[in-house]
Amino acid sequence: MPQFNENDLTAAVVNSFEETPDPRAKFLLQELVKSLHDYVRRTDLTFEEWEYAIEFLTRTGQTCTPIRQEFILLSDVLGVSMLVDAVNHREREGATQTTVLGPFYVGAHKEMSHGSDISPHNVTGEKLFVQSRVTDLKGRPLAGVPVDVWHADDDGLYDSQKPSYGTHGPTSRARFVSDNDGRFFFRTILPCSYPIPTDGPVGEMIVQTRRHPMRPAHVHFLVNAKGYEPLITHVFIDGDKYIDSDAVFGVKDELIAKVEKRSDPRMPDGREASAPWHLMSYEFRLKPGGGTAPKPMAARENEPA
Ligand SMILES: [Fe+2]
């Protein structure tokens, strides 16, 4: 029986993956072993701490459901999601900045006509009109581009976190397709800053480590045009109290938009406004390329592994 010291053991485990047929899988596994072993050596990890980590990860998995993704949340609060984003988007060349997908890209994103109200059941939120345009790097309009949008309600919760998901179905989320000028627009309510879910293991970690769980108010966009890199991003609302301390480190200056309060009797599409409203204007510039956009969580569930 071979006996290993601390360092021989790492080399032996790295070596054990030597015959992995896929070179990329081999590289990723070998590097993972090296990093994990380094961590154990550097921290002198105790058995109790190792057990705690196993139990924490087990609970993280057990908290996941078809409409809840605790592992994405864990990745987000540890900054891993933004790091993956950073290493994959080093050169933007003028394209819109990217940020985390987040754990709430769930359910169906039903296509709606321009101007639709995507939050029709909300009676407490202040109205928001979002007008946007999709272009290439030269500012030329891109037509027929599907854009998924989603955001939290004015109570700080996403539709999938509330019992009403069962009765109203998806709300404050939809898909729009850009017109010949690359434009799309819709009505909704003004989202507010919100806490990431604190009723699971990730939230427990945030509370126990005295971090705050808040994310500044934002609207998510996933813009997916053929021949261009899928754009996963948010538009943040300027002036939010948490804009400099996002719990998932997702804010970039370019993604902060001024949202103006308006009292005009009509919204930009000519329809009447029954109360003062807010206007968010933002353009998305896409970078040529390829890649596969993620699918909403429930849609992924039905696919073969
Ligand atoms: Fe969000």
List pLDDT tens digits, range 207-253. 999 999 999 999 999 999 999 999 999 999 999 999 999 999 999 99
Q: What is the pLDDT of residues 4-47, one digit of tens each?
A: 788 799 999 999 999 999 999 999 999 999 999 999 999 999 99
Average pLDDT of span 115-125: 93
CA of 91 to the centre of ligand 1 (A): 25
The alpha carbon of 275 and the centre of ligand 1 are apart by a number of angstroms equal to 26
> According to the model, what pLDDT value does residue 253 have?
97
pLDDT band with cut points at 50, 70 and 90 for residue 305 = very low
The alpha carbon of 137 and the centre of ligand 1 are apart by a number of angstroms equal to 26
Task: Say if residue 299's pLDDT is above 80.
Answer: no
The DSSP bridge partners found for residue 201 are none
Question: Could you give the strand order of the β-sheet that contains 183-189, starting from the edge strand earlier in sequence?
Answer: 183-189, 127-135, 277-285, 260-262
Q: From the CA of 139, how far away is ligand 1's center (Å)?
A: 27
Q: Is 223 left (phi over 0), alpha (psi -120 to 50) or beta?
A: beta
Expressed in angstroms and rounded, the spacing between residue 219 Cα and the centre of ligand 1 is 7
Span from the CA of 43 to the centroid of ligand 1 (angstroms):
34
**Å from CA of 135 to ligand 1 middle:** 24
CA 158 to ligand 1 center in whole angstroms: 8
Residue 276 in tokens: 């003062």
CA-to-CA separations, 147 to 38, 132, 150, 292, 295, in angstroms, rounded = 42, 10, 10, 14, 12
Q: Which residues surround ligand 1, an ion (CB under 5 A)?
A: 102
